[in-house]
Amino acid sequence: MQAGVTQLDSSVGGLGGCPFAPGASGTIAAEELGYWLEESGVRTGIDLNAVLAATAVTQRAVGRELPSSLFRAGGRNAPRGTWSPEVVGSQA
């Protein structure tokens, strides 16, 4: 960011990877990148709760657990707002 980077690549839930590199991890989770940037003082305008909700929908669609640690942990710390995958899951 200090070097002038203005765009970063991420994916909901950390989906991705490389089919040519067995065991390659996916792209950084969008919710984790947004959380990290905001916690570092970089204002993104990203609605983290909306991204977490999209991750819940995506996980149900692909039918497997996604690698996002933030999603698996239930979102950000409670003092900043609460989020629950059960709320989104009930809209399936």
Pick the catalytic residue from 4, 8, 15, 18: 18
Which pair of tokens denotes residue 89? Answer: 């899951």
Residues 66 and 13: beta-carbon distance below 8 Å: yes
The answer to whether 18 is a known catalytic residue is yes
DSSP track, 34-92:
HHHHHHTT------HHHHHHHHHHHHHHHTS----HHHHTTSS-GGG----HHHHHTT-
What positions carry a catalytic annotation?
18
